[in-house]
Structure 1
Amino acid sequence: MLNRIASLAIHRPKWVLAAALLIAVLSIVFGSSVAAHLKAGGFVAPDAESTQATDLLAEKFHGGEPNLILMVTAPDGVDSQAARDVGNRIAAELATESDVSAIQSYWALPDNVKSALRSEDGKSAVVAARVAGDDTVAPQRGGEIAEKLSGTTDGVEVRAGGFTVVFNQINSQITKDLAIAEAIAIPLTLLLLIWVFGSVVAAALPLMIGLFAIVTTLASLRIIAELTDVSVFALNMVTAMGLALAIDYSLFIVSRYREELARGLEPEQAVRRAVQTAGRTVVFSALTVALSLAALAVFPLYFLKSFAYAGLAVVGTAAVASILILPAALILLGQRVNSLDVRVPVKRLFGRAQKESVVPEESFWYRFVTGVTHRAAIVGVAVIVVLLLLGAPFLSVKFGLPDDRVNQPSASSRQVGDELRADFPANIGATIAAILPDFHGDKAELGDYAKQLSKVDGVTNVVSAAGVYVNGNLVPTPPIPGFAVDDAAQFTISTKVAPFSSAGEAQIDALRATPAPGGTALFTGAAAINQDGLDAIGEKLLLAFGLIALTTFILLFLFTGSVVLPLKALVLNTLSLTAAFGAMVWIFQEGHLSGLLGFTATGYLVATMPILMFCVAFGMSMDYEVFLLSRVREEWLASGKTAADNTHAVAIGVARTGRIITAAAALMAIVFFAMVSSKISFIQMFGLGLTLTVLADATLIRMVLVPALMQLMGRANWWAPKPLVALHSRIGLHEEPAHVEEKLQT
């Protein structure tokens, strides 16, 4: 297959590049509107209890827990005439919106229950409502309504919050963040590529492949979004991984091509050899990365599924572009790939001589690895201990779902959320809703149930068809319509407990454990959604990790013929994540460096991000493992296969790949670190976590720990049971060693 691809690039380079240009132009036109077709949620399973409760509330009561909160702040207090006029106007305008229901206004509620909607200092009060629609429509409508009703009138300020506004502002911010991240990453990447290659021409090639991968993947996402739900957060992966992987793969191809030119091959021969060797590594690496990301599809949350879709698209595009489009460009460039070498005039300016080619045995990396292998046991233990110590904070990790605090303090949703948590007796944004489906009892049963719910710790009041209950007592109020129909009843449970805290988890457990009339009660709201989301993730976690481990083991066995090296890779890839995961807890959960990075610590990590980071980083780590092992295996196959040959093969493999792997890691780190500029805190965490993982993996793991362990295991590195040896000889992946002159097909 690779030989046919190389032949196509060699014999039809102009046709290949013309087709690539056409595809890129069409992708830009079609994919430019992709953000408008993506959704902002996806943090809970479609069959979860909270989802069912939300759907039933909308179907039977045309309402649900509030997701739009308009906070009215008046210097003369919320009972002033000016504040009252503004509050009544807001409620009246909300009532004219056909997709808005369950309107609750401080100024329209009875005196003995409305205090929950007023701040302790009496300066602010809220109007809350439910905006209908899915994760695309509701945030968009919430944003439109918020824009229309927000502002200042006669000194009275109106600010908008609630989940619809939170995610509307996240959507808007992500689009801005992507532009900023690209503006940071692309110039820095080009400069580093020039430093790596010297030649401006050679440096520009990986960057062009990266941009091609991004625009074509955006078009692919646009198509996928027509077929299923896709999260807007997947755009961050497309940009980062499209650039990172394409540059990685192109770096391997271009480096091997230039190496073959230096050996004296003609451009056509060099391209074929580069595709057959480095191209094989690229294809294999792409498979491992794709399968790691595909495991995300087992989760029922479309937030995680979206990254599987985006990952498969971007990995496939980057690999195809690297082994077909890039070789076609190399054929047309020929020896000119080394043109515009900026290092020549710079060295001439400083009077430094041009370095001659260094044989691998005399290189820095060969000497470095030789030093590691001479002290393999000490070095291996030391590195493992350091990584485990750095990862220790992850033992105290806590998980939750994103709320308004992922936004910057300047966002109105964040300001409203902060004030609700700090100054209100109950956080209306944390309101819990319950529904009794198919209820046919009488009002007395509803009253008994509401009474028991109101006794749960942290509950401030329960509103039901039977009245309002506080601490088990019925509060005299006028009849409250709309809380019961012929076959169902609903309850609104106000709480002062933070929904994503351990107390919030205990509270929703206690509410769900309260016996309900008819035996069935369904709960929704922030705490219920959080718990259902965590449960859905936990149920599929072992399956996802098991699939990653199994597919990785099989692919590496096919690649190496060994069962030891795949096991080593699985352990080391996991170990490379420990330091980054520990850092994420220390930084983002505990709040260290929050002032420097500009985020607010919530005391937990967004639950989906460590899983996403694991799958992405695991695949990326395998990228370097495959590249390193491919060169080590070349030397091993050409050797006498003794213990000394194993040591030499490892040293030569690192000598030939060390500079490229560290350069690729630095380039990838730049791309991921650019995401730290985001104004959304869990995107910052994703970018910083992957930056640390990539750097740790390419240095401590691949350049230190892998050589140390391979030295200690000696010839056992290449061991497999005899039946598997026979199997590998039939279906394994094989190639001639690099120094064997191939017979070129014509």
Structure 2
Amino acid sequence: MTPSSAASSPSLAARVGRWSTRHRRTAIAGWFVFVLIAVFAGSSVGTVHPSNDSGGHGDSARADRIVNDAYPDRADESVLIQSTAGHPRTAKDPEFRRTVADVVAGVTRQPGVVDVQSPYTAGNGGQIAEDGHSAMVSFKINGDSKLAEKRVGPVEDAVRAAADRHPSVYVGQFGSASADKALSKAFGDDFAKAGMLSVPVTLLILVLTFGALVAAGVPLLLGLTAVVGTIGLLGPISHLVALDEFINEIVLLVGLAVGVDYSLFYLRREREEKARGASPREAVAIAAGTSGRAVLVSGVTVMVAMAGMMFAGDATFTALGIGAILVVAVAMIGSVTVIPALLSGSGRWLERGRIPFLGKRMAAARTRDIDSGGRAWNAVLNAVLRRPWLSAVAAATVLLVMALPVLHMHTADSGTDAIPRDQPVMKVYDRMQAAFPGGEIPAVVVLKAADVTSPRITAAVRQLEADALATGKVKAPIDTTVSPDRHVLQVSLPIVGSGTDDASNAALATLRGDVVPKFEQRAGTKAYVTGMTAGSKDFNDLMKSRWPIVFAFVLSLAFVLLLLTFRSIVIPLKAIVLNLLSVGAAYGVLTWVFQDGHGEGLLGFKSTGSITSWLPMFLFVILFGLSMDYHVFILSRIREAFDRGMRTQDAVAHGIRTTAGTVTSAAIVMVAVFGIFATLSYLDFKMMGVGLATAILIDATIVRAVLLPATMKLLGDWNWYLPRWLEWLPRIGGHEGHAAPAPAPAPGPRRIEREPEYAEV
């Protein structure tokens, strides 16, 4: 291969790289101008988030829409007044009564508070616990979720003031507005922690990789600017499609990962070529024509995988898919334009900020390991290639054993169980649940009719209450609410369990399968069941029904893209199998740690006995996309060597060795960043962090270092097999022009026509 020939490559990546090196100031300035414009646009129009009423699926969503249309926006709140161990009192005690009266007076005076219900008001006896030591004051706050969250602050102050005036009685508040406010702050603090840690951790790993601060800063700069620019672009997009509040965290997670990956692909190849004697411009040209192509193929493959989220049938997944696709596209464009511009005039400036001893050691190691890949990787690769059958069987066995727990994976909405119990608002919730089981998580039967107060419906409601209590899965008090226009009726049935556990699901099944159908017959109209349990069940059912569609879409499009890229049917089939093995192993680890509870002490959580229902599909899409980064990058080097005339076995060894350092560095960055999410307090994000970090670690070690080279050696020239009836397929891209004349192909199943380099996007 000659540098000059690489520079004359007509491929898209090489042309873009050549333009960037000739107009480096324009390319660099243009990138930062784009980021600034995106940020300005996003801050100018703001970001639209979906309302709390826009989610949901199935019968629970229909019930929610009926209720939302019939009632003004209000947030339900409750204040628990409870006897303490040091001062045992009952609801009849004068001090207990004075505390209740103080709470009622305090909340009544606050703006937006309506419908304050004292436990001592006639007909509200159900607001006093059976043991007489607890009572609840209930009320509502007018306004949608955002307005109610603003108004709840003064209400909380009034409740705290009442508690201070009556220290011998416990007073605590919980409701939709107070919980949203407290948990939004908790999650915001968690994500701020993740963002604050991910940047220095990434920089530290990159410094150890390159031995110089400036070189380490380039990948981080691309990743961060891609994230910032994408978040800015999401503002205008959110006016077309409402985006979830935590989409910024997903953009940070994905953007930092692929931004650093793509930069590493360029930087390592450019440094490798300079170590071989190429000039800075020649090294950049070669990197653009090779690693640049890998970035484009990888980026498109990742975006195809992320697009699978659009088929989940859920607005949250659609929003996440939009964010993930956009940040990958931005990072990909930035890497093929800005990185060549930064490198082309670099000279020695990338080596500035060298770390004493480390910088010289890393430079010497790069020169020594250009083709060997380092001692550790070389030792593993030699062992694998000597015994490919043993290596493949052993690695596959390890992955299958790791995946075994997935056979009993159970998915469910984590609900309130995912929230850390050390949150003050959750301590109040737990007290309420103990004193009034099911009171804060009722199943709600919703009915719509011309007049829900008619004698027939009134009689049917009385029988519904009797039937529900008779099951033993519903507790008193049962609350019935009629809309102002008398068109909508709600019957709140406190059910047993925590809301999403087996007991609550069994209660829901009894209501939907027996109690409510009888109620519908008596009332003469359709009724729906909603609430936390019903919403969780309906969402879980949606995920189970949609995963075959998502899997089929992602796998089929990835197959087609890799088929066109590498002109082989074996390469894409093997890539899919290897990726599924790593995802399956990650699922198994996730089940063993979180569902079976083996990581409770280490990670600081209490198992809910299930995996949160949104996570398996999300992990599959993200992991399949990110793992293709490594696969495409490694295979591109293998195919490049094969097209220069190497035998498949030699090309495999060369490709693995020359990409080992990059794969290792990129994987360490991803594992470290994803691992930070495992330290967050919210259980769902602990699961996400562990699942992502585990899968990337497995993919970069067992799969890429053992299974990939072993299977490629075993298949030999079959790796490049394309049936004659598919030879009409287009070649996406062109000849790079730097491949040396190829000798006759090694013996194989049949004569294989060598393509002039692998196909280019």
Which interval holds the TM-score relative to the shorter structure? 0.7 to 0.9
How many residue pairs align between the two structures?
A: 713
Of stretches 289-298 and 626-635 in structure 1, the one that deviates more from structure 2 is 289-298
Pairwise mapping of residues 304-453 of structure 1 onto structure 2 (< 5 A)? 304-342=317-355, 344=357, 356-358=367-369, 360=371, 364=375, 365-421=377-433, 423-438=434-449, 440=451, 441-442=454-455, 443-453=458-468
Q: Is the 8 A contact 1:675 1:683 kept in 2?
A: yes
2:103, 2:158 within 8 Å by CA — same for their partners in 1? no
Gaps of 5+ in 2: 1-11, 742-755, 757-761
Please give the alpha-carbon distance, in whole angstroms, between the structure 2 residues aligned to 1:666 and 1:536.
35
Alpha carbons 1:24, 1:212 under 8 Å: kept: yes
- Corresponding residue SS for 1:106: coil
Partner of 2:19: 8
Report the CA distance between 1:291 and its aligned residue.
Answer: 1.7
1:567 aligns with 2:577: no
Q: How far does residue 96 in structure 1 lie from its aligned partner after superposition?
A: 6.6
Q: Is the 8 A contact 1:296 1:615 kept in 2?
A: yes
Deviation at 1:404, TM superposition (A): 3.0
Question: 1:128: Cα distance to partner?
Answer: 3.8
Any idea what SS the aligned residue of 2:493 has? strand
Q: Secondary structure at the match of 1:430?
A: coil
Aligned residue identity for 1:392: L
The structure-2 alpha-carbon separation of the partners of 1:605 and 1:363, relative to structure 1 and needing over 3 Å to count, comes to closer
Mean CA deviation greater in 490-499 or 136-145: 136-145
Unaligned segments of structure 1, at least 5 residues: 466-480
Which residue, 664, 673, 676 being the options, matches 2:675? 673
SS of structure 2 residue aligned to 1:731: coil
Distance of 2:469 and 2:179 partners within structure 1: 29
Contact 1:579 1:693 in 2 (8 A): yes
Determine the C-alpha separation between the residues in 2 that align with 1:464 and 1:610.
37
User: 2:751 is matched with which residue?
Assistant: none
How far 1:202 sits from its partner (Å)? Answer: 1.3
Of 61, 69, 76, which aligns to 1:51?
A: 61
Whether the 8 Å contact between 2:223 and 2:256 is mirrored in structure 1 is yes
Is contact 1:163-1:404 (8 Å) kept?
no
Q: In the alignment, does 2:723 pair up with 1:714?
A: no
| TM, length-normalised to structure 1 | 0.87
* Aligned equivalents of 2:353, 2:43: Cα separation in 1: 34
- Note the 1:571-720 alignment, pairs <5 A: 571-639=577-645, 645-720=647-722
Q: Is the 2:294–2:636 Cα contact (8 Å) retained in structure 1?
A: yes
CA shift digits 1:364-410 (9 cap, x unpaired): 33453232022122221221221222222222222222433333333
Aligned positions of 1:175-254 closer than 5 A: 175-254=188-267
Distance, in Å, in 2 between the alignment partners of 1:561 and 1:174 is 47
Distance change >3 Å, CA 313–CA 102, structure 1 → 2: farther
Percent identical across equivalent pairs?
Answer: 27
Which of residues 526, 534, 538 is equivalent to 2:540?
Answer: 534
Cα distance, 1:258–1:9 mapped onto 2, change above 3 Å: same
Residues in 2 aligned to 1:171 and 1:323: alpha-carbon distance in whole angstroms: 38
Report the residue type matching 1:69 in the other structure: S
Please tell me whether the aligned partners of residues 72 and 87 of structure 1 are also in contact (alpha carbons under 8 angstroms): yes
What is the rounded CA distance, in whole Å, between the counterparts of 1:673 and 1:523 in structure 2? 39
- Of stretches 35-44 and 331-340 in structure 1, the one that deviates more from structure 2 is 35-44
Paired residue for 2:759? Answer: none
Q: Which residue of 2 aligns with 1:475?
A: none
Which deviates more from structure 2 when the two are superposed, residues 207-216 or residues 445-454? 445-454
User: Is the CA contact (8 Å cut-off) linking 1:588 and 1:601 kept in structure 2?
Assistant: yes
- SS of the residue corresponding to residue 478 of structure 2 reads strand
Mapped partners of 1:373, 1:147: distance in 2: 69
For 1:705 and 1:133, the matched residues in 2 are separated by 58
CA shift in 2, pair 1:135/1:592, >3 Å: farther
- Taking the aligned partners of 1:245 and 1:354, their CA distance within structure 2 comes to 25
Name which of 110, 119, 122 aligns with 2:123.
Answer: 110
| AA in 2 matched with 1:444 | A
Offset from partner CA, 1:396-433 (integer Å, 9 cap, x none):
22222243333333312321232234x22422121111
Corresponding residue for residue 744 of structure 2: none
Given the superposition, is the C-alpha separation of residues 63 and 321 from structure 1 closer, same or farther in structure 2, using an over 3 Å criterion? Answer: closer
Are 2:35 and 1:18 aligned? no
- Output the CA distance in 2 between the equivalents of 1:221 and 1:144: 33
Q: By how many angstroms is 1:275 displaced? A: 1.8
Distance in 2 of aligned mates of 1:402 and 1:316? 33
1:251 Cα deviation after fit: 0.4
Whether the aligned pair in 2 keeps the contact of 1:42 and 1:135 (CA below 8 Å) is: no
Aligned residue identity for 1:726: W
2:80 partner letter = M
Q: CA deviation at 1:313?
A: 1.8
Question: 1:239 and 1:300, CA in 2 relative to 1: closer, same or farther beyond 3 A?
Answer: same
For 1:7, give the aligned amino acid: R
Measure, in 2, the Cα distance between the counterparts of 1:376 and 1:94: 73
Q: Does 1:71 align with 2:80?
A: yes
Mapped to 2, the partners of 1:735 and 1:100 lie a distance apart of 72
Letter in 1 for 2:634: L
Amino acid at match of 2:70: K
Provide the C-alpha distance between the structure 1 equivalents of 2:314 and 2:340, rounded to a whole number of angstroms. 39
> TM-score if structure 2 supplies the norm length?
0.86
Q: Give the distance between the partners of 2:402 and 2:575, measured in 1 at CA.
A: 20
* 8 A contact 1:290–1:312 mirrored in 2: yes
* In 2, Cα distance between equivalents of 1:485 and 1:652: 76
- Give the secondary structure class of the aligned counterpart of 2:476: strand
Report the aligned-residue RMSD. Answer: 3.2
Question: In the superposition, relative to structure 1, how do residues 706 and 482 fare at CA in structure 2: closer, same or farther (>3 Å)?
Answer: same
Any conservation in 1 of the 2:403–2:586 contact (CA below 8 Å)? yes
Change in 2 beyond 3 A, CA 1:501/1:215: same
C-alpha distance in 2 between matches for 1:242 and 1:148 = 44
Does the C-alpha gap of structure 1 residues 662 and 434 become closer, same or farther in structure 2, counting only changes over 3 Å? same
Q: How far apart, CA to CA, are the structure 1 residues paired with 2:602 and 2:120?
A: 42
Once the 2 structures are TM-superposed, how far is the Cα of residue 557 of structure 1 from its aligned partner?
Answer: 0.7
1:385/1:737 CA distance change after superposition, 3 Å: farther
Q: Deviations over 1:524-575 (max 9, x none)?
A: 1111111111122222221111111111111111111111111111111111
> Shift of residue 714 of structure 1?
1.8
